[in-house]
Amino acid sequence: MPLKDQPIINQSSVIKFLLLEFSDVREHQILHFVMFLIFYLLAAAGNLLIIAAVAYDHHLHTPMYFFLINLAIQDMGQVSVIIPKSMTNSLMNIRSISFSGCVSQVLFYTFFVSSDLFFLTVMAYDRYVAICNPLRYEMVMNRHACIQTVIVVWISSVCYTILHTGGTFGFQFCSNVVNQFFCEIPQLLKLICSDSYLFEIGIIFFGIIIALGCIIFIVVTYVHIFTVVLRIPSAQGRQKAFSTCLPHLVVVLIFAITGIFSYLRVNFDSPSSFDLALTMIYSMVPPLMNPVIYAMRNKNIRNALSKLLL
């Protein structure tokens, strides 16, 4: 729905932001709450089951599942940062979020999303080594290397998050109306009233370059994987490899394309419904699809869950 014009304000007077309403009709607000609740429960349950299965079954204590459990933690954090607040606003018929709450949302959401992309990149490399260089897998992906990789991912995500969060809230805001259902950086940058054009371009393209680098690496890695898989004489072996790799690649591309496109539109006025659709795709689809791809289609995870739940 269109937003009402708001008076120009200074950053010093901003004590809260107004988020986008899905509807001003009470029945529609309740429907939004129920739909987001169902989505959140499904995403949370799927990722929690992965974490529990990997932790429970010692046979899954391998590099692949070590990275998978970290990915599940990031996905859980990603939806937990944005979904509950949106549900609360709809249920209570409000649209506000405090200034500190908005800062926290940007801080944690950026951290979880960036680390999520980094872990997807690491997992693609893990599959590349396992399929293309199986004899060197244990040497390359040893316990020490895996722990170092996770530490690097977390530190890189923290640095990236501090840069974006500190930069975004380091300027004065002309409005407190965020044209999104959570505090999303592109929408916050549109509210900055100081001469920050170069900063906006810099912060956006820095993130896009990092994302593109990860995506190109993932795509090239899977090209090599598919090349090796096509040489497998067994049709069943090829089908098994493709059934695992293709859905992963599709989800990564959906996440990357919609996310990058959302950030590229920071300097353009666009319908709130279009921005909302893009954001919902890149922020909500991967956390729900990753458990399906890595758990429900994975025989080892299913067996571990059967032992855990029965």
The tens-digit pLDDT sequence of the chain (310 residues) is 444 444 444 444 678 899 988 888 889 899 999 999 999 999 999 999 899 989 888 888 889 889 989 999 999 999 999 999 999 999 999 999 999 999 999 999 999 999 999 999 999 999 899 888 888 998 999 999 999 999 999 999 999 898 888 888 877 888 889 988 999 888 888 888 766 656 766 777 888 888 889 989 998 998 888 888 888 777 776 776 676 677 778 778 888 887 777 777 666 665 567 778 888 888 888 888 888 877 666 778 888 888 887 7
Domain boundaries, the chain: 12-302
Q: Give CA–CA dist 96/89, Å, rounded.
A: 7
Is the Cβ–Cβ distance between 81 and 39 less than 8 Å?
no
CATH class of 12-302: mainly alpha
Q: Give CA–CA dist 12/22, Å, rounded.
A: 28
